[in-house]
Amino acid sequence: MEKRALVVCDDPILNDIIRFFFEKLSYRAEVVDNPKDAVTKIENSNFPVVVIGKNKGTIVKPKLAEILYSKAMQKPHIIIFKEPGEVVPKEFYMTPIPKPTFAEEIIRTLNKEGIEIQTNYNLDEIDLDSFIGNPIYRECDIFNFLKSLKGNTKFIIKNGESKLYGLTMGTDLYIVSSDLEEPYDIIGLKNVEIASEPLNLNEFLSMPLSNKVFKTNLREFVVKAIDKINDKDLLLSFLPDLDHHIRLKAPAYILKQIDLITDNLDIDRIASKEDSVSVREITENGSNLSKAKAVVCMYLLNMIELKEPSANKKFDVKIKKSFLKKIIDKIRGL
């Protein structure tokens, strides 16, 4: 039976070298340049060896190795071309080796000597015109959109003539293209229209997301975006009312992982059921900018809920005269 190796790499020169090498070892190397095609291949064919290099996916190599190993018909051994500083965990089915760089060094030398070289390599980019097939825009408050934003979603945000294309996958946020000066400015946008649709894993794996794509953890993005706002009125406009009371939805230890919160608020006091605290009280009547940032951050991340204070209510109790007379007679007889 013919032995086969699966190579997941988008470097055409290195791929040709690897393919030739495996042929000399009596293997037939099949090359793909993205995680989606790699998953399809390994679900339908046996590959005792898999080689993972830099590819068009955004999943880190060890995670891709884990996915391929779990989906493989025949469990392979996976070789990872490790870049300098890249972390690869120890797993019995993974072997990291330094990425071969001699081809790059030869090309660099030829360029230095002024020797003309040509390659047929073209970097694919996402087609923004078809990012969302038939976008249906709706007017939306950007704060509430971010507050409700879940994982595995594609979205386009329009603000006048400006557009921002983004997506979430799990807890990660990707800004694919943006006309804003910087992505964090999104939080202050007014009069926006938003189109969105679900994003499935296969589509995500096939996306040619280059190094130019802005990628961060969604929670970290929210924290940094809020921290950059120094307009107190804008911050307070995100909250329903200063007299609303704060109740924690997330465990206190989660909130304590965010410096913007722990540096400005007493989380243990807020967590105490005996000491309900209002937004007005904790932000010093809304005058403390840093404390306001911390409260808005918790609210946007759905770590707290803000509830109206309970109104004082009077209850009228009606008692029958006959029953009241019995009570009075009882008291008189004491």
Q: pLDDT digits over 114-165, tens only? A: 776 655 444 456 788 889 988 999 999 999 999 999 889 999 999 988 899 9
Least-confidence region, from 120-129, 192-201, 276-285, 314-323:
314-323
Q: What is the pLDDT of residue 168?
A: 92
97: left (phi over 0), alpha (psi -120 to 50) or beta: beta
- Is pLDDT at 211 greater than 70 in this prediction? no
State if pTM tops 0.75: no
Separation of alpha carbons 266 and 256, rounded Å: 10
Mean pLDDT on 247-256: 91
The answer to whether residues 64 and 6 touch, using CB atoms and an 8 Å cutoff, is no
For 260, half-sphere exposure in the C-beta direction (CA atoms, 13 angstrom radius) is 22
Q: What is the pLDDT of residue 315?
A: 46
pLDDT digits (tens, 9 = 90+) for 92-104: 999 999 988 887 7
The answer to whether residues 164 and 175 touch, using CB atoms and an 8 Å cutoff, is yes
- Distance of CA 29 to CAs 4, 68, 247, Å? 6, 16, 58
Q: Is the dihedral of CA 189, 190, 193, 199 positive or negative?
A: positive
Q: What is the pLDDT of residue 124?
A: 56
More confident residue, 315 or 62: 62
Mean pLDDT on 234-259: 92
The answer to whether residues 249 and 302 touch, using CB atoms and an 8 Å cutoff, is yes
What's the mean pLDDT when you consider all of the chain?
86
Q: What is the pLDDT of residue 120?
A: 45
Mean pLDDT on 227-234: 92
- Interhelix angle 102-112/12-24, nearest 10 degrees: 130
In terms of Cα–Cα distance, which of 161, 159, 165 is closest to 130?
A: 165
Which tokens is 326 given? 């019995």
Which tokens is 192 given? 């926006």
The answer to whether residues 78 and 94 touch, using CB atoms and an 8 Å cutoff, is yes
Mean pLDDT on 7-22: 88
The percent of residues above 70 in pLDDT, for the chain, comes to 90
End-to-end alpha carbon distance in the chain: 105
Q: What is the pLDDT of residue 66?
A: 93
The percent of residues above 90 in pLDDT, for the chain, comes to 48
Which tokens is 38 given? 């790699």
Return phi, psi of residue 166, to 5°.
Answer: -145, 170
The answer to whether residues 78 and 68 touch, using CB atoms and an 8 Å cutoff, is yes
Query: pLDDT-derived band of residue 297, with 50, 70 and 90 as boundaries?
Result: very high
Mean pLDDT on 175-195: 89
Q: What is the pLDDT of residue 92?
A: 93
- Distance of CA 159 to CAs 100, 127, 132, 225, Å? 46, 20, 17, 18
The answer to whether residues 283 and 242 touch, using CB atoms and an 8 Å cutoff, is yes
Which strand (E) or helix (H) includes residue 202?
helix 201-205
- Distance of CA 216 to CAs 104, 266, 325, Å? 29, 28, 74
